[in-house]
Amino acid sequence: MDGTLVDTEPYWMASEVELVSSFGGVWTHEDGLQMVGLGLWNSAEILRAHGVDMPADEIVQWLTNRVQEKLDSDGVPWRPGARELLADLRERGIPTALVTMSVRRMAEQIVAHIPFEAFDVIVSGDEVTEPKPHPEPYLRAAELLGVDPVDAVAIEDSLVGLSSAVASGAATIGVPHMVAIPESDQHTIWDTLDGKTADDIAAVAAAKGALL
């Protein structure tokens, strides 16, 4: 979700700076980049190591509240082509899942701004035992959709997310945003989702199948 469907990473980074600064610490842009794609509770431990004297659960709640406030005040910053691709997939009757390490209430807030039923299921960071880069989130999504993970296609913007998706067995597309994604035989790289359609998704799935 964050970085693939919506450009909320700047909201998260600004909130991290605000939180660390409130405890007298310093949080740089490079510090923020290491958090991209991580589970929120893993991120909370990194923030605690930077001097945030709060329990991990409280850090997660504070950050989520702050980002949700920014979504309400500043709007939902959609990534180019994301909603259009979702609309095409839904028109073709293709099952879709949102797999995010944000908590469910934030995922539902963003999904509510999409003017059609974009996802069959949501798998959020507060509903899994093992966060990305572990494959559990994607395996759970495939289970809820009733599909074999090897028949699925995942779209990610972070190395952590890519690792999770690839480990699940899904064909994986990386769309770089805040962090660079290296070339690899394990995933396909698209510069953008703008102009992409369900046919392009099907081509990635077919190419993976041809290699198996």
Q: Judge contact between 41 and 129, C-beta under 8 A.
A: no
Asked whether residue 91 is assigned to any structural domain, the reply reads yes
Asked whether residue 2 is assigned to any structural domain, the reply reads no
Domain limits for position 162:
82-211
Closest C-alpha among 84, 141, 144, 72 to residue 116: 84
Query: Which tens digit of pLDDT belongs to each residue from 146-183?
Result: 999 999 999 999 999 999 999 999 999 999 998 889 99
Asked whether residue 165 is assigned to any structural domain, the reply reads yes
- In whole angstroms, give the CA distance from residue 173 to residue 195: 15
CATH number assigned to the domain comprising residue 136:
3.40.50.1000
- Both 114 and 207 in one domain: the answer is yes
Cite the beta strand spans of the chain per DSSP E.
Answer: 97-99, 121-123, 153-156, 171-174, 188-189
CATH number assigned to the domain comprising residue 49:
1.10.150.240
- Both 200 and 96 in one domain: the answer is yes
Query: Which tens digit of pLDDT belongs to each residue from 74-133?
Result: 989 999 999 999 999 999 999 999 999 999 999 999 999 999 999 999 999 999 999 999
Asked whether residue 3 is assigned to any structural domain, the reply reads no
Number of domains within the chain: 2
Question: Structure pTM?
Answer: 0.86
- In whole angstroms, give the CA distance from residue 68 to residue 148: 33
